[in-house]
A and B are shown apart, each in its own frame.
Chain A
Amino acid sequence: MATENGVDTAGRASITEPTLRTDRWWIAPLVTFLGLSAFVLYGLIRTATQTNYFVEGAGFSYLSPFASPCVTDSCLPGSSHFGTWFGKFPAMVPLAIVTLPFLLGFRLTCYYYRKAYYRAFWLSPPACAVPEPHGTYTGETRFPLIMQNAHRYFFFMAVIISLVNTYDAVKAFHGTEGFGFGLGNVVLVGNVLLLWSYTLGCHSCRHITAGRINHFSRHPVRYWLYQRASWLNGRHMQLAWTTLGTLVFTDAYIALVSSGTINDLRFIG
């Protein structure tokens, strides 16, 4: 560890150990590392294989959020809710190429995820009062990390994408023969609700509603919205993780139904 410019700086109390923490401080960054890595791995495999992302039946049509919106000629019939804007994609190019960069950008610039990956991947710092391994540090003052300031634009895009996801979830109640209701709908709707909760609880959203003004009392509507956003914001970390889980779960559920591994549990139709 590079501590000669840190806790071993001349003049500070001379202590041999870089950290005297006795608890298992490394568990949290390790779990974060494994969790985020697992999600990225899953996402890579799923977008690369491009199979079983859509399934349609008499009373349902489930489209995975990983492939939404599907706007190329490569898309399976019925999965292109918004038409096809492009020709066939070569292999390995994600079907949701239009939205994926923004979704990734939204999560990468998210104030919670920043904390998570700065600690778990970049070890800056690995845990509180544990020295980081880097000799120099400039934070988010330079390119590329200065781009973190674009978070609010990714937020606006995330809102649009959440609308798309909502549309998908509604559309999922309609199959080739009309309305139906199955477990897949619960999964899709649940996923969308949580995605909204994560998106609207974003720190930028909180700022936009009323965080940027100094007189809440003069803007009761904005203040009301701010309080709601703040409530969600207090749960931002939990929602960040939960939505990773529900995204994977939703995609996996659709893949399993689509591949015929399991049957969708039908309540109606």
Chain B
Amino acid sequence: MSYQADFKVWRGDTDGGDLADYTVEVNEGEVLLDVIHRLQATQAPDLAVRWNCKAGKCGSCSAEVNGKPSLLCMTRMNTFVPEETVTVTPLRTFPVVRDLVTDVSFNYKKALQIPAFAPPKDLAPGEYRMAQVDVERSQEFRKCIECFLCQTVCHVVRDHDDNKTAFAGPRFLIRAAELDMHPLDARTDRAEFARDEQGIGMCNITKCCTEVCPEHIKITDNAIIPMKERVVDRKYDPLVWLGSKIGLRKS
């Protein structure tokens, strides 16, 4: 059940590069990362690629396979026909470092900007009580493995580099939702932050982030849209605004 398959792998760095052709053995039950490793061990020892767990849990081996942002360890070779040439490139939204490795520091900068969880002042450690139904929404977002495929595929920054300052990207909009929906988070200005600092209004909910998420987090439906609605509550809904001014609503 082995066959020789053709691959095009982008080799290069900031000074330029190109798709290089390789022919590599593929065995039954393998994923693309297995093949990249074989390529490294037999033909291209200095081929740069990030990987860690090889189990779809750490989100390190993000790349673009036949043009689609994917995890190399979760791309099964049986999803291709043996005659197919598989093209592997680095993420095309972030600056390249070398070969399949890109500089993803954009994401760490965005992570640093979101105000951290604000623990409730009146509860000591061990006193937290939360119902399972109340934590489930935020738990969905905490499944995120930070592979940054959503950040890569999002056209807001992929196609408009200048938006990188104003827009935090899907990964950090789900972080915003996670904190805003946390039953015990003490901050109340997360929706305003999402609008003013994270640029949630830039998102036009075209859902590519949801499509590429390897954890199947419903990024758009469960995080971004609910956050947009919460922004409406605070910023665009005259009735809710009026209600809060005259003290009809607690939140």
Q: Do chains A and B touch in the complex (CB under 8 A)?
A: yes
Give chain A nearest CB distance to B163 CB in angstroms. 7
Give chain B nearest CB distance to A202 CB in angstroms. 10
Find the residue from A3, A207, A223 having the highest chain B CB count within 10 A: A207
Question: What residues on A are CB-neighbors of B208 within 8 Å?
Answer: 125, 128-129
Q: Does A182 contact B (CB under 8 A)?
A: no
Q: Does A115 contact B (CB under 8 A)?
A: yes
- Give the size of the chain A interface in residues (CB under 8 angstroms): 55
Question: What residues on A are CB-neighbors of B151 within 8 Å?
Answer: none
- Give the size of the chain B interface in residues (CB under 8 angstroms): 62
Mask, A125-137, CB within 8 Å of B = 1, is 1001101101011
Pick the contact of A216: B96, B134, B237 (CB < 8 A).
B134
Question: What residues on B are CB-neighbors of A212 within 8 Å?
Answer: 229-230, 233, 251
In the assembled complex, the Cα of A165 lies from the Cα of B176 at a distance in Å of: 39
Mask, A183-214, CB within 8 Å of B = 1, is 00000000000000000000110110001111
Contact A215 B206 (CB under 8 A): no
A152-B212 in contact given A20-B64, A214-B181 (Cβ < 8 Å): no
A152-B229 in contact given A114-B205, A139-B156 (Cβ < 8 Å): yes
Contact B134 A5 (CB under 8 A): no
Pick the contact of A139: B89, B90, B204 (CB < 8 A).
B204
In the assembled complex, the Cα of A223 lies from the Cα of B101 at a distance in Å of: 45
Question: What residues on A are CB-neighbors of B134 within 8 Å?
Answer: 214-217
In the assembled complex, the Cα of A141 lies from the Cα of B163 at a distance in Å of: 12
Q: Does A22 contact B (CB under 8 A)?
A: yes
Contact B226 A217 (CB under 8 A): no
In the complex, identify which listed stretch (B22-30, B36-44, B65-73, B109-117) lies at the interface while the others stay far away: B65-73
Give B81-95 interface residues, CB cut-off 8 Å to A.
87, 89-90, 92-95
Q: Does B228 contact A (CB under 8 A)?
A: yes
Q: Does A6 contact B (CB under 8 A)?
A: yes
In the complex, identify which listed stretch (B10-18, B50-58, B118-126, B140-148) lies at the interface while the others stay far away: B10-18
Question: What residues on A are CB-neighbors of B202 within 8 Å?
Answer: 137-141
Pick the contact of B89: A20, A115, A152 (CB < 8 A).
A20
For A234, the closest partner residue in chain B by CB is B221
Pick the contact of A6: B66, B131, B161 (CB < 8 A).
B161
Q: Does B199 contact A (CB under 8 A)?
A: yes
In the assembled complex, the Cα of A223 lies from the Cα of B68 at a distance in Å of: 38
Contact B201 A140 (CB under 8 A): yes
Give A121-169 interface residues, CB cut-off 8 Å to B.
124-125, 128-129, 131-132, 134, 136-141, 145-146, 149-152
Contact B229 A207 (CB under 8 A): yes
Contact B16 A111 (CB under 8 A): no
Contact A217 B133 (CB under 8 A): yes
In the assembled complex, the Cα of A139 lies from the Cα of B157 at a distance in Å of: 11
Give chain B nearest CB distance to A125 CB in angstroms. 4
Pick the contact of A14: B17, B183, B230 (CB < 8 A).
B17
Give chain B nearest CB distance to A264 CB in angstroms. 40
In the assembled complex, the Cα of A2 lies from the Cα of B95 at a distance in Å of: 18
Find the residue from B12, B95, B161 having the highest chain A CB count within 10 A: B161
Give B179-210 interface residues, CB cut-off 8 Å to A.
180-183, 199, 201-208
Q: Does B76 contact A (CB under 8 A)?
A: no
Q: Does A24 contact B (CB under 8 A)?
A: no
Give chain A nearest CB distance to B170 CB in angstroms. 12
Question: What residues on B are CB-neighbors of A115 within 8 Å?
Answer: 204-207, 220
Query: Measuring CB to CB, which residues of chain B are less than 8 angstroms from any residue of chain A?
Result: 10, 12, 14, 16-19, 64, 66-69, 87, 89-90, 92-96, 102, 131, 133-134, 153, 155-156, 158-163, 180-183, 199, 201-208, 211-212, 220-221, 225-226, 228-233, 235-237, 251
Q: What are 17 inter-chain pairs, A to B, with CB distance below 8 A?
A: A12-B92, A13-B10, A15-B10, A20-B67, A115-B204, A115-B220, A118-B204, A118-B205, A118-B206, A128-B69, A129-B64, A129-B92, A138-B202, A139-B201, A152-B229, A214-B180, A234-B221
